[in-house]
Amino acid sequence: MKVSSPLEVYKYLPKTNCGECGEATCMAFAAQLIERTLNIEDCSPILDEKFKGKYEELTQVMAPQIRLVKIGTGENTVLIGGEDVLHRHQLTFYDKTALAYDVWDTMGEEELVERVNAIQNFRKFYVGEFLTLDMVAIRSTSGDPAQFAKCVKKVSETTDFPLILCSFDPKVLEAGLEEVSDKNPLIYAATEKNWKEVAELAIKYKTPVTVFAPDNLDTLKSLAKSFLEMGIEDIVLDPGTQPSGEGLVNSFSKFIRLRRAGISEDQRDIGLPLMSVPMTAWMANEDPVNAAYWETVVSSVFIVKYADIMILHSMEPYSTIPETTLNNNIYTDPRRPVQVDSGVRAIGNPDEKSPVFVTTNFALTYYTVESDISSNGIDSYIVVVNTDGIGVEAAIAGGQFTPAKVNEILTSADIKLEDKVGHKTLVLPGLAARISGETEEVTGWNILVGPQDSGRIPGWMEGSWPPK
Ligand code: SF4
């Protein structure tokens, strides 16, 4: 069982309080290991030969409840699993659900390259970062090893994204593996019928492998156990994804039972990443729009609980945008608000007559204000106050948004506003109106109170800027 208290972790550490890890004491370091904000290797003394035994034991007792599996190589490597909790408020979820989109070996070459490029080039700006897709799943629809190999070769020439090679025929899988044996692809899948041959492939090519047993958890567990006994550890479990009705309810309950067994019951032989295949919705729906809709619904269910990787088909924005957005939200740390750096930002091409707006470093607030200003072509500066990622109203009430903090930015930021603008007027958010007088006193700048909603800044500008 994974250790969960700093005192237990402390037993394995050198206990010299040398401070090399950046923490004042070994106990403080132990607390950071539990929080997963530092790694064992950040304690360099423990890497010394004389602590080898302790290091190995600590690595074992600190391993995540759900095995961390790597797919692919280089900078696009995808990590799946690595989770320790059933509910994100208990700690956080760490490794996002890896979203793989399919291509198939009966596609024409031009269409194939176009789809692979669409997968690898997908970008959606969201709260300060770009959401992306993660992997390409190559399906054998021809059943022909040579055709599959040709398709795998073309895909791997087009992208460095990690790959899933999909076929139940070991000969087809091996033909694909021959093309990308150095790229650590995931094999999909070993079943009750082909498991011995697929296990041999996983050993020969040293690749992670998916074990698939739809609707039978006992078979799934027994296959996983056999693979572990053969020395194959990088295993992904696919308990089947039924796309609708009673079948969907059963699939959902299997994901929960497997994850509970891995985390709460410490069953290490099935504490493994889970795969869902929402593209089964395309088998149940003839109409493509309905199929894409249900695929998106099913993927949302399993992003929330507990798919670590999934194979999808619809590349329509009404599928990819909600899927990537939900995935991003579930895997943010619920204990820490999403923040941007504090300081002064120039928006557009401000000059000495441009307004200076003030806001907080809560990412949602900042990007809303920034977008309302930039999309209306208002060249300006934004003073971003460090409120620990809290929005304006709550930060005023909680004391994180104060005149002193506004002044701190004005006097210490890289961009010296006094040198940039030919006025001394700040525009405070309407929700911060009650600290306007004190802000004027502390900063020595004149204060204008802007609208409560940044969407009204353009209208407010017409009547209030430049100040009379
Ligand atoms: S580096 Fe290791 S031994 Fe030194 S204080 Fe940190 S945890 Fe303790």
The answer to whether position 263 is within a domain reads yes
Confidence (pLDDT) at 333: 83
Closest CA to 313 of 335, 291, 344, 287: 291
In a domain, 338, yes or no: no
Q: Are residues 34 and 10 in the same domain?
A: yes
Q: Which atom of ligand 1 is nearest to the CA of 17?
A: 5
Residue 18 Cβ contacting ligand 1 at under 6 Å: yes
Q: Determine, yes or no, domain membership for 453.
A: yes
Do 57 and 123 have their domain in common?
no
Q: Is residue 1 in some structural domain?
A: no
Ligand 1 pocket check for 234: Cβ under 6 Å: no
The CATH number given to whatever domain includes residue 311 is 3.20.20.20
What global pTM score does this model have?
0.85
Q: Which two tokens stand for residue 202?
A: 């996983």
Q: What is the mean pLDDT of residues 342-365?
A: 94
Residue 22 Cβ inside 6 Å of ligand 1? The answer reads: no
Exposure string over 379-416, b if 16+ CB within 10 A, otherwise e: ebbbbbbbbebbbbbebbeeebbbbebbbbbbeebeee
pLDDT at 36: 87
CB neighbours of residue 267 within 10 Å: 15
For ligand 1, atom 7: residue with the closest CA: 26
What does the mean pLDDT of the chain come to? 94
Give the Cβ contact number of residue 243 at 10 Å: 22
- Is the pLDDT confidence value at 268 over 90? no
Q: Is 17 in the pocket of ligand 1 (CB under 6 A)?
A: yes
58 lines ligand 1 (CB under 6 A): no
Measure the CA angle with vertex 72, ends 69 and 76; round to 5°: 105
Q: Could you identify the residue written with the tokens 């210490």?
A: 412
Residue 336 has pLDDT above 80, yes or no: no
Tens digits of per-residue pLDDT, 65-124? 999 999 999 999 999 999 999 998 888 888 999 999 999 999 999 999 999 999 999 999
pLDDT over threshold 80, residue 414: no
Q: Is ligand 1 within 6 A of the CB of residue 40? A: no
Pairing assessment for the beta strands 163-166 and 186-190 based on DSSP bridges: parallel
Taking the CA atoms of 405, 411, 416 and 421 in sequence, report the sign of the dihedral they define.
Answer: positive
What pLDDT is attached to residue 297? 96
Q: Is the CB of 136 under 6 A from ligand 1?
A: no
Q: Which atom of ligand 1 is nearest to the CA of 44?
A: 1
Q: How confident is the model at residue 3 (pLDDT cuts 50, 70, 90)?
A: confident
Residue 39 Cβ contacting ligand 1 at under 6 Å:
no
Tell me the average pLDDT across 350-358. 95
> What is the domain count for the chain?
3
Whether residue 51 sits in one domain with residue 74:
no
Amino acid occupying residue 18: C
Relative orientation angle of helices 195-205 and 170-179, to the nearest 10 degrees: 10
Ligand 1 neighbourhood includes 238 CB (under 6 angstroms): no
Does residue 1 surpass a pLDDT of 80? no
Clarify whether residues 56 and 90 are in a common domain. Answer: no
Instruction: Give the mean pLDDT of 291-299.
Output: 97
Percent of the chain at pLDDT exceeding 90: 89
Domain finish residue from 330, 364, 394: 330
The span from the first CA to the last CA of the chain, in angstroms, equals 69
413 pLDDT more than 80: no
Ligand 1 site, residue 26, Cβ cutoff 6 A: yes
DSSP 163: E
The conformation of residue 50, written as its DSSP 8-state character, comes to G
Q: Is the pLDDT of residue 454 over 90?
A: yes
Q: Which two tokens stand for residue 239?
A: 């308990």
The answer on 384 and 270 residing in a single domain is no
| Residue from 18, 27, 33 whose mutation best tests the ligand 1 pocket (most atoms within 8 A of CB) | 18
How would you list the strands of the sheet with 380-385, edge to edge? Answer: 343-347, 380-385, 356-360, 425-428, 446-449
Please state the rounded mean pLDDT for residues 283-294.
Answer: 94
The domain boundary, picked from 21, 43, 62, lies at: 62
Domain boundary among 295, 330, 365: 330
125 and 43 both lie in a single domain:
no
Same domain, 125 and 265: yes
- Decide if pLDDT at 418 tops 90: no
Q: Are residues 268 and 142 in the same domain?
A: yes
Residue 162 lies in a domain: yes
- Kindly give, in sequence order, each residue whose CB lies less than 8 Å from that of residue 262, ignoring residues fewer than 6 positions away: 65, 66, 268, 270, 271, 272
- The pLDDT score that the predictor gives to residue 258 is 97
For residue 287, tell me if it sits in a domain.
yes
Count the neighbouring beta carbons within 10 Å of the beta carbon of residue 314. 24
CATH number for the domain harbouring residue 417: 3.40.50.11600
The domain in which residue 436 lies consists of 343-464
Over pLDDT 70: what percentage of the chain?
A: 100
Cα 335 to ligand 1 centroid, rounded to whole Å = 26
pLDDT score for 335:
78
Residues 38 and 93 in one domain: no
Pairing of strands 343-347, 380-385: antiparallel
* Helix-, strand-, coil-residue percentages of the chain, each rounded to 5: 45, 15, 35
Q: Estimate the crossing angle of helix 109-121 against helix 145-158, to 10 degrees.
A: 40
The predicted structure's pLDDT at residue 150:
98
Please report the atom of ligand 1 found closest to the CA of residue 26: 8
Q: Which CATH number fits the domain that encloses residue 34?
A: 1.10.15.40
Q: Tell me: the pLDDT tens digits for 154-211?
A: 999 999 999 999 999 999 999 999 999 999 999 999 999 999 999 999 999 999 999 9
- What pLDDT is stored for residue 309 in this prediction? 98
Q: Is residue 335 part of a domain?
A: no
Does residue 90 sit within a domain? Answer: yes
- Residue 215 scores a pLDDT above 80: no
Q: Is the CB of 20 inside a 6 Å radius of any atom of ligand 1?
A: yes
- pLDDT of res. 185: 98
Q: Are residues 170 and 258 in the same domain?
A: yes
CA distance 239 to 248: 12
Query: Which residue has the CA at smallest separation from atom 8 of ligand 1?
Result: 26
Ligand 1 site, residue 45, Cβ cutoff 6 A = yes
Same domain, 223 and 319: yes
Cβ atoms of residues 100 and 310 within 8 Å:
yes
CA distances for 322 relative to 138, 299, 315, 338, angstroms? 23, 10, 11, 19
Compute the distance from residue 42 Cα to the ligand 1 centre, in Å: 8
Q: In terms of domains, do 183 and 34 share one?
A: no
